[in-house]
Amino acid sequence: MSFLNPSALALVALALPIIALYFLKLRRQPYTVSSTYLWRRLLRDTAANAPWQRLQPNLLLLLQLLILALLVLALARPFSWTEAAAGDHVILILDTSASMQATDMAPNRLAEAVKRARRLIDALPGSARVTLIAAGSDTRVLLSGSTDRARTHEALEALSPGTGSSDLSDALNLAAAIAARERDPETIILSDGNVTLPEHLAIPGRVRYIPIGRGAAEPDAIVPNQAITALSLRPIAGGNALIAFVQVTNFGTTSIERRLSLYADGHLVAARTLSLPPERPLPLTFDDISADVSVVEARLEGEDALALDDVAWAVPPARRTLQVDLVGPGNRFLETALSLLPGLEVAAIQPRDYLSDGCPSADETCRRADITIFDNTTPEGELPPGAMLFIAPPRATSIFSVTGQLEGPVPIPAQADEPLLRYVDLRGVQIQQAFRIPLPEWARAVVVADVSTDRCEAPCPLLFVGEVEGRRVAVLTFDLRKSDLPLRVAFPILIANLMDFLSAGAGGADIPTWVRPGQPVTFHAPPEAEAILITRPDGTTERVEIEDGRAVYSDTTWLGIYEVAWVPSGMAVGQGERLLGRFAVNLFDPQESALAPKSSLPVQGTARTDIGEAGHRGRREWWRPLAWGALALLMAEWLYAHRGALSRLRGTIVALAQRPTSTHGHSGRAA
């Protein structure tokens, strides 16, 4: 037993004046009685009220001291630790992300979380309200402020794990908004800790985290798991075949062998036995895949703790020839990297000739490029209408500014899972000099300078991308000739990734080759299309309406291949749909595949919360029953002190009730 307000215990000193008043002699009126035999108890009270006498037993004094003790204890707010929830309104946040499908706890982690949530709810008092929030790739309120335990259990039973990542930001912000309106709230998070959290959020009331997963109480717990963390297809020169890039990561602490099989349209085309090093990705390539293939599937044979990341799908990129203008003094490395990419028609232009050849003006009759690359130069006039790649721009433009130079920056990825850096290893890349370009509001950083070694304010971008004025733009802030990046294997891969990014905004294939679970996809429909049809991996079909030439589909919760078709105007579904393309939904999330549960989460509540050995103890306060007990004793003390008056009142009431009432119509005396 502990106290939240131990200083209130000093009020126990109020017992001294109560006892002192008890010692003081009361002024009584003298009466003459015939005998004192029946008055001995009164004499004992009289003796007790004589000054400086030995303390005599007195029920009223005992009751008054008990009342004081209970009130002082209530003000001190005693509490005890409990594994049950404690609060008038309990907000339960259950993680439903992909990692909660891990089978290290039978049958899976989500089932264990539901079981613990059920225990917490059953231990609550009947008046406590419960709010259930499911947090996965999206946030859902399953139940709000309910005291109906049957409905609560039904909502828990209907809960199913998702396939995407878990961002608790929305769930915790929602919990904070609910808790702010409550007097005694408690927020409980049931998760394996592999989640994204908001920054600088303090939730009103108490906050507890209950870790789910094998070894959750151990800070260095490891749950072995292997995952396919990348899969993509790229045409080789000539366009007659495809090359598959696969990355397999071992999230365990020891090496392990797994067999990887590659299927093309359902037929096995390759298989390898892999020796996977611990906690490291293993990149692989598979050549000579037919260019006519529709779907490629990679599968890790065998079993581990999470089956979702043992399989991945890929579709080949759409075929289309893009016009690319390379404006600059000449760069053999860049020209070679571009020549290796199929579907690009590259025209090299000197900066002095760009105005006549590049057509940045309003002349619609001349050739316009889908992508324009400015290497060590910036246009003097207006920017071209298509997508753009700037490499070491010496001057500012209308969409970014150049404020100086940065000497010898050390490049590092801005994010661990950046798609544009897939298969790109920047470790050890030497850069002599880069231009200092503040990150524009429309852009996101892809590569930044390491602030621990460089004198720049974070973020100090070396490569950033984004969309501005209706076209995609990428900016590389350093000269390729002043670095050793062109001499590395990563260089042509980086250029290929940038071209894929820019081509999506330059009229290329607007259907992505893959997305993560829960990520919405936008389709540009043909003018003659009436609707878009989506065929999900389970074979079901959904119709998506077109607005302003676009259709948005967001139900990408199934892993696998989605087919996109369009229905011509005037035709019913099933009467001539035309295939628009395919895309894959893959997990590809190291945060979800690294199954080691977190023993703690940096989430704070406004009320002080102590975490015990198990990391999930709650605090139950006892001031309410103490206050009610003090009130009950106060009533008992009043009744006892006025028992004589109450007895006389009762006698009076009884006498009045028994008094005969006068009646009319009495018969007279007999004559």
Taking each helix axis as running N to C, give the angle between helix 149-157 and helix 109-122, from 0 to 180 degrees, rounded to the nearest 10: 180
Q: Are 398 and 440 in contact (CB under 8 A)?
A: no
Claim to verify: residue 108 and residue 61 sit in the same structural domain: no
Alpha helices per DSSP H over 49-159 = 59-76, 109-122, 149-157
Average pLDDT over residues 417-443: 90
Whole-structure pTM over 0.75, yes or no?
no
In this structure, what CATH number is given to the domain that contains residue 367? 3.40.50.880
* pLDDT cut 90: percent of the chain above it: 46
Boundary (domain end) residue, out of 314, 339, 368: 314
Integer Cα distance of 556 and 446 in angstroms: 26
Element (H, E) at 179: helix 169-179
Which residues constitute the domain of residue 568?
A: 514-591
Are 338 and 470 found together in one domain? yes
Query: Nearest-CA neighbor of 93 among 127, 143, 128?
Result: 143
The answer to whether 121 touches 91, Cβ cutoff 8 Å, is: no
CATH number for the domain that contains residue 91: 3.40.50.410
Count of domains observed in the chain = 5
* Cα 646 from Cα 300, distance rounded (Å): 86
- Burial of 490 by CB count in 10 Å (0-12 exposed, 13-18 middle, 19+ buried)? middle
If asked whether residues 66 and 110 sit together in one domain, one would say no
pLDDT tens-digit readout, 234-248: 888 666 789 999 999
CA–CA dist 507, 564 (Å, integer): 18
In the predicted structure, residue 9 carries a pLDDT above the cut 90: no
- Considering 253, 285, 314, which residue would you say is the last residue of a domain? 314
Q: What is the mean pLDDT of residues 545-564?
A: 91
Q: In terms of DSSP bridges, do strands 604-605 and 202-203 run parallel, antiparallel, or are they unpaired?
A: parallel
Residue 611: predicted pLDDT? 39
Does residue 455 sit in the same domain as residue 335?
yes
Is pLDDT of 613 > 60? no
The secondary structure of 97-128 as a DSSP string is SGGGG-SSSSS-HHHHHHHHHHHHHHTS-TT-
Query: Tell me, what's the pLDDT at 61?
Result: 79
Nearest to 191 by CA among 142, 134, 139, 253: 134
Identify the residue with better confidence: 571 or 209: 209
* 603 pLDDT higher than 50: yes
Cis peptide before 413 (omega within 30 of 0): no
Question: Do both 19 and 103 map to the same domain?
Answer: no
pLDDT confidence tier of residue 32, bands split at 50, 70 and 90: confident
Looking at the structure, tell me whether residues 355 and 213 fall in a common domain.
no
Task: Decide if 624 is inside a domain.
Answer: no
In a domain, 623, yes or no: no
Q: Is residue 305 part of a domain?
A: yes
Select the more confidently predicted residue: 44 or 438: 438
| Cβ-based neighbours of 233, under 8 Å, separated by 6 or more | 242, 243, 244, 245, 289, 296, 314, 315, 316, 317, 513
Choose among 319, 314, 335: nearest CA to 391. 335
Domain presence at residue 446: yes
Q: Does 100 have pLDDT greater than 90? A: yes
Helix H or strand E encompassing 189: strand 185-191
- The DSSP 8-state label assigned to residue 478 in this structure reads B
pLDDT tens profile 493-537: 999 999 988 886 555 447 889 999 999 998 877 777 888 999 999
- Lowest model confidence (mean pLDDT) among 149-153, 375-379, 498-502: 498-502
The whole-chain average pLDDT of the chain stands at 84
Give the pairing of strands 404-407 and 387-391.
unpaired
Contact criterion met (CB below 8 Å) for 198 and 168:
yes
Q: Note whether 404 and 396 are within 8 A (CB).
A: no
Runs of H (alpha helix) within 464-556: 490-504
Question: By mean pLDDT, which of 385-389, 457-461, 534-538, 609-613 is the weakest?
Answer: 609-613
Residues 362, 440, single domain; the answer is: yes
Q: Residue 288 CA to chain centroid, in angstroms?
A: 41
Q: In this structure, are 397 and 470 located in the same domain?
A: yes
Q: pLDDT tens across 310-367, in order? A: 999 999 987 777 889 999 999 999 999 998 887 788 999 998 888 644 454 444 445 5
373 in a structural domain: yes
Which of the 8 DSSP states describes residue 565? E
> Considering 483, 504, 525, which residue would you say is the last residue of a domain?
504
* pLDDT value of position 669: 47
* CATH number (domain holding residue 540): 2.60.40.1930
Buried b (16+ CB within 10 A) or exposed e, 158-178: ebebbbbbbbbbebbebbbeb
Residues 341, 290 within the same domain? no
Q: Which amino acid is at 84?
A: A
Mean predicted confidence (pLDDT) in 401-412: 91
Q: What is the dihedral of CA 477, 247, 101, 86, to 10 degrees?
A: -30
Q: Show the tokens assigned to 413.
A: 């990825």
In a domain, residue 307? The reply is yes
Same domain assignment for residues 458 and 394: yes
Q: What is the CATH number of the domain that holds 231?
A: 2.60.40.10
Same domain, 492 and 393: yes
Least confident of 272-286, 493-507, 625-639: 493-507
Q: Is residue 330 part of a domain?
A: yes
Note whether 466 and 368 are same-domain residues. yes
Give the tokens for residue 410. 């050390």
From 330, 6, 591, select the one nearest 338 (Cα to Cα).
330
Phi then psi for residue 531, to 5 deg, are -160, 165
- Report how far residue 499's alpha carbon sits from residue 299's, in angstroms, rounded to the nearest whole number: 28
